[in-house]
Amino acid sequence: MSEALAVVETAGTGTSVPAVSGARQFWRRLRAQRAALVAAAVVALLVLVALAAPLLTALEGQDPTTYHPTLIDSARGGVPIGSFGGVSADHWLGVEPQTGRDMFARLVYGARVSLGVALAATVVQVAIGVAVGVAAALGNRWVDQLLSRITDIIVSMPLMIMSLALLAIVPSSFPRPVLVTLVIGLIAWGTIAKIVRAQTLSLKGLDYVSAARLSGWGTWRIARRELLPGLAAPVITYAALLVPANISVEAALSFLGVGVKPPTPSWGQMLTAADVWYQAAPQYLLLPAGALFVTVLALTVLGDGVRTALDPRAASRLRVGTGRKAATGTGTAAGHATEKEASA
Amino acid sequence: MSGFGGFLLRRTAGAVVTLLAISVIVYVVFYVTPGNVAQITCGPRCSPEQVHQVAEQLKLGDPLYLRYWHFLQGLFVGQDFSTGTSVEHCAAPCLGQSYQTDQQVLDIILAKLPVSVSLVVGAMVLWLLLGIGTGVLSAWRRGRVSERVLTAVTLAGTATPVFVIGLVLMIVVCGQLRLLPFPQYVNFTDDPEQWAWNLLLPWLSLALIEAAAFARLTRASMLETLAEDHIRTFRAYGVAERSVVGRHALRGALAPVIALNANNVGSAVGGAVLTETLFGLPGIGQELVHAVKVVDLPVVVGMVLVTGFFVVLANAVADVLYAVADRRVVLA
């Protein structure tokens, strides 16, 4: 991080910054951060792998659900035959213990579940959060009170516990990945609603919004045309940090055996039995754990980069060229302060 | 001061309303599900007579608000359950009866609570020490190699799911190096030494993840405080750097950290569920996962209410602590 910011620093100092459009400015600031760029490349690769999962497995000639009883040693409790958990030209990353299902295929299809659920859940969270936050800020006193209290309640619900509980009651015939998406999305939208409400309230007092109201625009039109663009930065910033958090939650639920259920592969679910097999098939533990780690790390670093690129306070400091110390320190502090203000 | 008293009152009322709302949501969501609620609650092995009895017990014939009122009454004044042959009294706070295990939900939770409390409290001590220590150190060593290493480690820490780090720790420490036994819960009252020895790894797994977040926050907060004028004055007066950072700056930087700690109870409870399941510790987290898998609704509802109670309590305490540290909050 600090290294990345130093790069921005050298790029920013000395040269006068020409006025550029928001999106272009964002890209320029993001590009200037080396760590964020690497993370973005990793994320792009992961998305590509997830999208191309059927293609990749076709290339390997395997699929994620076929059992290969001939590749496991049933006399030794289902250990894969061969070194490194049965790695071969046919099975690039070996096979699963006990079932003999192809690890590579399960891993790349698992990427679909992880990324798909996390992204879709983020969309649900952002949609509800923005709607509730804007409505609370623009509505009358009673609407605001009601929506803010509901948001408070949602925020104080422990996510893991509530997801576990909700997953208990829905019949198992309901498609599991969709269910996990909905559960995460419907429980964890509180913080984004608070941020949006606070931001909308401060935007509402600005002159250009008053001008729009004076020229007779309706609330709906003002919200869409004048307020939403101003909300983009904080919403994108927070959403970028929600995605890795959602990946962890999905993995955790599947690890506990209540999330995505077999035969659909999921990284968290693959880790459930990994501790039993780590000696005979170490890749059974290392691959899903590594995939989770790399994915969450890349998304977190990218999220941090997005925040740095969008935070006007951190950005203005970078432009003015105050010492790097101030810039790196306040990057996180400013973000935290925003959350505190929002919750106060 | 009246402002502060009013704030305290408002915050307490808010916490009570939140808890009531959670209980309504939980009750409605769980007992208005499609399907035969009595059959689900009673469990798959129940005879039709037993199912009928459960339906009577839950007052399924009554309208919803009456049923909820009945449930609430149980919470505050207790209620009686007839088990067919005898009548059993469930004292307040009555969370209901688990028909699948023939136990009162509160008893199930109370039996498991010491394990979870041991786990979370022990881990909390560890993560505060580790997190604040690392945060102070990296703020102090800023710009050096050691700060970059610490920053990278804490970033990796925030990106690792707790069950992954626990799994790796368990395999390396217990399986490969054989430094510790595979954890098995021992009561503190039976053998404090074995209790701590067995909980060491679960504590570490839970603490490492949470510590990373604290280290990042402490570092940011420390840097902000270190840039303030009074710190410059201390330095100008020739106060030793160790004392400037370790005493004066740390004191100013701790308020948001303490607030985060209470706010983090929710995520720590989630982490505890995973840690307990991974290490096979018989706490309320493991019990909840079990109850979810066998769809023991009364236990699930009770667990959600109890954990919700702790989280709401912690949040209220956090807000009050924050208001004590920064009186401007009261005016907001």
Q: Residue A288: exposed, middle, or buried by beta-carbon count in 10 A (0-12, 13-18, 19+)?
A: buried
Q: Which of A63-72, A271-280, A320-329 has the weakest average pLDDT? A: A320-329
Q: Indicate if the pLDDT at residue A123 is higher than 50.
A: yes
Alpha carbons within 13 A on the beta-carbon side of B179: 8
A3 in B contact zone (CB under 8 Å): yes
A46-83 burial code (b ≥16 CB/10 A, e <16): beebbeebeebbeebebebeeebeebbeeeeebbbbee
Which chain B residues are Cβ-neighbours of A149 within 8 angstroms?
17, 21
Radius of gyration of chain A (CA): 24
B44 in A contact zone (CB under 8 Å): no
Which pLDDT score is estimated for B88?
Answer: 73
Which pLDDT score is estimated for B203?
Answer: 92
Q: Indicate if the pLDDT at residue A4 is higher than 70.
A: no
Q: Do A329 and B223 touch (CB under 8 A)?
A: yes
The closest of A156, A164, A159 to A186, measured between CA atoms, is: A159
Q: Indicate if the pLDDT at residue A174 is higher than 50.
A: yes
Q: Do B293 and A279 touch (CB under 8 A)?
A: no
B256 in A contact zone (CB under 8 Å): yes
A187 in B contact zone (CB under 8 Å): no
List, for residues A282-301, the tens digit of each pLDDT value: 778 888 889 999 999 999 88
Structure confidence at residue A90 as a pLDDT band (50, 70, 90): confident
Q: In chain A, which among 210-269 make CB contacts under 8 A with chain B? A: 244, 248, 251-252, 255-258, 268
Question: Max alpha carbon distance in chain B (Å)?
Answer: 83
Q: Indicate if the pLDDT at residue A333 is higher than 70.
A: no
Which pLDDT score is estimated for B331?
Answer: 54
Per-residue pLDDT of chain B (332 residues; tens, 9 = 90+): 457 788 888 888 888 888 888 888 888 877 776 667 777 777 777 778 778 877 777 777 778 888 888 888 888 887 777 666 667 777 777 887 887 887 888 889 999 888 998 899 899 899 989 999 998 888 888 778 888 888 888 888 888 888 888 888 888 888 777 777 777 887 877 888 888 888 888 999 999 888 888 888 888 888 888 888 888 888 888 888 888 887 788 877 887 787 777 767 777 888 889 999 888 899 988 898 888 888 888 888 888 888 888 888 888 887 787 777 665 555 54
ipTM greater than 0.85: no
Q: Residue B57: exposed, middle, or buried by beta-carbon count in 10 A (0-12, 13-18, 19+)?
A: buried
> Which of B151, B164, B269 has its CB closest to that of A160?
B269
CA A14 to CA B51: how far, in whole Å?
79
Which pLDDT score is estimated for A247?
Answer: 92
- Contact of A94 with A80, CB cutoff 8 Å: yes
Between A321 and B16, the higher pLDDT residue: B16
Q: Do A166 and B217 touch (CB under 8 A)?
A: no
pTM of the model: 0.82
Residue A328's closest chain B neighbor by CA? B220
B171 in A contact zone (CB under 8 Å): yes
Q: In chain B, which among 61-120 make CB contacts under 8 A with chain A? A: none
Which pLDDT score is estimated for B269?
Answer: 84
Give me the percent of chain A exceeding a pLDDT of 70. 82
Which pLDDT score is estimated for A207?
Answer: 87
Domains of chain A: residue spans and CATH: 42-51+110-316 (1.10.3720.10)
Mean pLDDT of chain A: 78
Query: Which of A263-272, A334-343, B83-92 has the highest mean predicted lDDT (pLDDT)?
Result: A263-272
Which pLDDT score is estimated for B180?
Answer: 77
B314 in A contact zone (CB under 8 Å): no
- Contact of A156 with B315, CB cutoff 8 Å: yes
Residue A295's closest chain B neighbor by CA? B159
